[in-house]
Structure 1
């Protein structure tokens, strides 16, 4: 089968090198051989993955040298106030740690850039954030805020806009907020990535522009990203995977006495290790393929038609608004302690 690299993702913990090194022994090997350090921890309901990439690691996984912190609440829902509160608290804690080495003076400025196209909902997190910051009763005097739009609207490189403002303002720090792409449908709008490596505007939808980073501007750049889109074939592959695992789990439990004692509709645990050969009589050899091989088949099958489709949740406008409020609240709390 032809190997196509089709799963777009901006999240470092979804990169192949990180995904394939989940155990402690594998992480130790990765750190020694590739210059990548991975630390997983949990704070309440928030799962945190802290990845440090050095110059050697940058060559290995194609992600820039620096620190990447991914925070996720897998069970998050739109009306989950506790989940959003915990996510904001952990974002604040890690944001503080990432910038504790900066020495602040009274007149130092912080440039906040909200990237994205406000007319396309899943890409509007940046402009929405700037709107929320402007709507606050008290705006910290350190903040200078700007939503430059996208190149397709202005005809001008977003990175050039930011560079021009930075040259005039001379900020101590640039904070960039943007929408990202994920390759896992269950992480849509449930994850935040924080990194000190800057950002490539438009990279989440395969439209990479000039980067906004310390290397380009000579000013520290911190990026906050929320995954709001996923490739269409990923959704199809995830749905098929869920169906096959559900059937395999039911077949495995069918002969056990416990399955006959259930008084209500019994739901199998599809997350545990399953023998997929149990469904081979139903699906044939396909059932024993790895998840990655099945995903590859979908990409090849839909090449040229569905490959370019990006999917977002139907409640995307509510998700975007919630995250704009969350990030703006976090930034104000952080600025008030400087």
Structure 2
């Protein structure tokens, strides 16, 4: 069978080693055996996952050694001003902490690179960010801003452009902003990942280019990424999982008063622990399989051209613009304290 990576993701907390170690005991075991430290916390509505990977951990999960901070507001909507405000505040707090060790001189420069293709909406967060920074009334003199486009447009490696500018400018810090891929549809445009490990442009959609990192440039590189796309089969798997759990929850509740007292359309809690054998008479044995086994089934049956499709929300243009403004505002607030 051809091995299709239909669960591509750029998010550290979606990597297999992190996902399967959710309990306190499992996390401690992972830290002892794999060199990966995981801390989950909440700040208001923002869920924060802080993952620290050392050299041994890099070998285990294939993610570079360094710090990864993932911030997510699961209930975020485009009209949710409070959610965006809390997300921006926590991004600022964690961004400051990540750079506390840097000492700044008056003439130090910061290179901000907005990666992506502005003609493809879900990939345009980087260029849109640069546009928003240029449109501000006051642009901090420390900032040098650059949107290099993508290799398909220019014919040159984006990393080479960045390396050339960094060599000439010698900035104190390089900040790279890009769109990411996720393998969970409910995280699309509701998550921000912050990391000090740099970035591989295009890696989430299978177009891995030259790395932009401290190892390549000799300058600290901080990457800010927002997941805007997901593989199409992931949506199918998520829909099937939701359907099975919803039906199982309804079957489990059918004889309870709670299912009869609702004044409107009753919706069961599908997040609770459920007995999936309840739906076996309807869907057969595969309904009782583990989530991983069903995912393997989709991998085998959907190994075709459509596995290469990437999906984005229909309001992607609004999400991208909103996040570009959020990151621009955060960077201005951060720079004001330097």
Q: Given the two structures, how large is their TM-score scaled by the length of structure 1?
A: 0.98
Distance 1:257 1:296 in 2: 38
Task: Please give the per-residue CA displacement for 1:206-242, whole angstroms capped at 9, x wherever unaligned.
Answer: 1000000000000000000000000000000101111
Task: Please give the per-residue CA displacement for 1:1-46, whole angstroms capped at 9, x wherever unaligned.
Answer: 9976431000000000000000111000000000000000000000
| 1:29 alignment partner in structure 2 | 29
Distance 2:309 2:330 in 1: 33
1:293 aligns with 2:290: no
| 1:13 alignment partner in structure 2 | 13
- Contact kept in structure 1, 2:200 and 2:208, CA below 8 Å: yes
| 1:175 alignment partner in structure 2 | 175
Distance 2:101 2:87 in 1: 23
Distance 1:296 1:5 in 2: 11
Aligned CA RMSD, in angstroms, stands at 1.1
Q: Quote how far apart the aligned CAs of 1:148 are.
A: 0.2
Which 5+ residue runs of structure 2 have no aligned equivalent?
A: none
Distance 2:2 2:57 in 1: 27
Distance 1:139 1:202 in 2: 29
| 1:198 alignment partner in structure 2 | 198
Task: Please give the per-residue CA displacement for 1:87-141, whole angstroms capped at 9, x wherever unaligned.
Answer: 0000000000000000000000000000000000000000000000000000000
Distance 1:165 1:95 in 2: 23
Q: Quote how far apart the aligned CAs of 1:263 are.
A: 2.8
1:306 aligns with 2:306: yes
- Contact kept in structure 2, 1:68 and 1:195, CA below 8 Å: yes
Distance 2:66 2:130 in 1: 26
1:1-338 equivalent positions in 2, closer than 5 A: 5-338=5-338
- Contact kept in structure 1, 2:246 and 2:268, CA below 8 Å: yes
SS of the aligned residue for 2:212 comes to: coil
- Contact kept in structure 1, 2:6 and 2:234, CA below 8 Å: no
Task: Please give the per-residue CA displacement for 1:151-202, whole angstroms capped at 9, x wherever unaligned.
Answer: 0000000000000000000000000000000000000000000000000011
Distance 1:158 1:261 in 2: 60
- Contact kept in structure 1, 2:111 and 2:175, CA below 8 Å: yes
Distance 2:254 2:221 in 1: 55
Q: Quote how far apart the aligned CAs of 1:299 are.
A: 2.2
Distance 1:106 1:192 in 2: 30
Q: Quote how far apart the aligned CAs of 1:301 are.
A: 1.4
Which 5+ residue runs of structure 1 have no aligned equivalent?
A: none
Which stretch has the larger CA shift, 284-293 or 233-242?
Answer: 284-293
Q: Given the two structures, how large is their TM-score scaled by the length of structure 2?
A: 0.98
Q: Quote how far apart the aligned CAs of 1:258 are.
A: 2.6
- Contact kept in structure 1, 2:7 and 2:183, CA below 8 Å: yes
Task: Please give the per-residue CA displacement for 1:235-294, whole angstroms capped at 9, x wherever unaligned.
Answer: 001011111111000000001133222232211111100000000000000110112221
Distance 1:2 1:214 in 2: 35
- Contact kept in structure 2, 1:4 and 1:296, CA below 8 Å: no
Pick closer, same or farther for the CA change 1:208–1:2 going to 2, 3 Å.
closer
Which stretch has the larger CA shift, 292-301 or 60-69?
Answer: 292-301
